[in-house]
Homo-oligomer: A and B are copies of this chain.
Amino acid sequence: MNSRTRFLAACRGEETDRPPAWMMRQAGRYLPEYREVRSGSTFLGMVHDPEKAAEVTMQPIRRYGMDAAVIFCDILVPPGAMGMEVEFVEGRGPLLGPPIRTRDDVERLTDFDATEATGFLGDSIRNVRAELGDERAIIGFCGAPFTVASYMVEGQSSRNFENTKEMMLGDPESFDRLLERVTDNSIGYLKNQVDAGADVLQVFDSWGGTLDAATYRERLLPHVARLVEEAKSNGVPVILYVNGCAHLLEVMADSGAHVLGIDWRVDPKEAIARVGDRVALQGNLDPCTLFGPPDVVRQKARQTLDAFADQKGFIFNLGSGILPKTPLDSVQALWETVLQPSTAPHSA
């Protein structure tokens, strides 16, 4: 069993020799070699450069040897390809303009052909495959419709999503149409990643957890489920990650995704009891654990592995993306703990 077959088996709820493992945002600023490549470029410049994107995608694999590489890209690439201005301002996060607030704004967005408009991403994936070989998995991804739409409506990161919820409540048809258009374009965008070599697709719903379960089910799930179904039709497993999802597990499981990515506030035993018979699970160590000393990191990582030991289909991950200032000795301790071969097969 190599890393790739291990990863794909876990996604499908099959037995593995040990849980496969990767880390959200593993190609990122906590690595000094990333910061070196990044120093001469803008963030989006790196995303659009298939050589640099492949290079930083490979960096964590070379250093730690996780089971999967996640392609270096950003969930705001599709809004850019749909005609919005998207830039990343140091210290402020993404800025998108002009914000989408009305039906006219929604209709003015353009559909894009992923092979043309985001061909750089296919090139990045092919570059990664050339270096990675066939032994490890490549994860492609996109943002979930609500998460992407919330950036398009707010025009920036938001704490409370006032404008998004104003549009959801005050002009539900236009907001639904926005989700539909984001979904339409995400489908081709994901297909293009699989065509280029992605083995697995993850849908990132960073902000869907700010909605209650009834609202998520009624307003978001139809779009998420359609996106998941279309993604699966490419013949790859699909992971749905929602941050802050303790109240949403059953709704997420109804999306049709093979794997639910869960955050650190979800109790593993409770997740297994609630949805573990329907889906594989991925998670869920608090990324802030890595700010603790290495021996605490080892202990907490083992606790997470133990807590999921009975889950049929489990992928180790953090509960959200690794943070930029994370100390490397803790990251080292994490991977030494998680990637060591286990004597006992995982789950059954």
What residues of chain A have their CB less than 8 Å away from a CB belonging to chain B? Answer: 160-163, 165-166, 168-170, 209-214, 244, 246-247, 264-267, 270, 286-289, 291-293, 296, 323, 325
Contact A165 B289 (CB under 8 A): yes
A265 to B247, CA, bound (A): 7
Q: Which of B162, B266, B291, B293 contacts A288 (CB 8 A)?
A: B162
Alpha-carbon gap, A267 to B286, bound state (A): 25
Q: Which of B160, B214, B247, B288 contacts A160 (CB 8 A)?
A: B288
Copy tally for this chain in the complex stands at: 2
Give A164's nearest chain B residue, CB to CB: B288
Asked if B169 and A265 make an inter-chain contact with CB atoms under 8 angstroms apart, the answer reads no
Nearest CB of B to A244, in Å: 7
Q: 26 A-B contacts, Cβ less than 8 Å apart? A: A160-B287, A160-B323, A161-B288, A165-B286, A165-B288, A165-B289, A166-B291, A166-B292, A169-B289, A169-B291, A170-B292, A170-B293, A170-B296, A209-B265, A210-B265, A211-B265, A212-B266, A212-B267, A213-B265, A213-B267, A244-B244, A244-B265, A246-B246, A247-B247, A247-B265, A247-B267
What are the residues of chain B within 8 A of A160 when measuring CB–CB? 287-288, 323
A88 to chain B, nearest CB (A): 17
Known: A162-B288, A209-B265, A247-B265. 12 other contacts (CB 8 A): A162-B291, A162-B323, A165-B292, A166-B291, A169-B292, A170-B296, A212-B264, A212-B266, A244-B265, A246-B246, A247-B266, A247-B267
5 A-B pairs closest in CB distance:
A169-B292, A165-B288, A166-B291, A246-B247, A246-B246
> Which residues of B sit under 8 angstroms from A323, Cβ to Cβ?
160, 162
Min Cβ gap A250→B in Å is 11
Beta-carbon contact of A265 and B212 below 8 Å: yes
> Hey, which chain B residues are within 8 Å of A287, CB to CB?
160
Contact residues in B for A270 (Cβ distance below 8 Å): 247
Minimum CB–CB distance from A263 to chain B (whole Å) comes to 9
Shortest Cβ distance from A326 into B: residue: B162
| CB-CB nearest in chain B for A267 | B213
A214 to B307, alpha carbons, bound, how many Å? Answer: 12
Q: Who on chain B is nearest to A327 by CB? A: B166
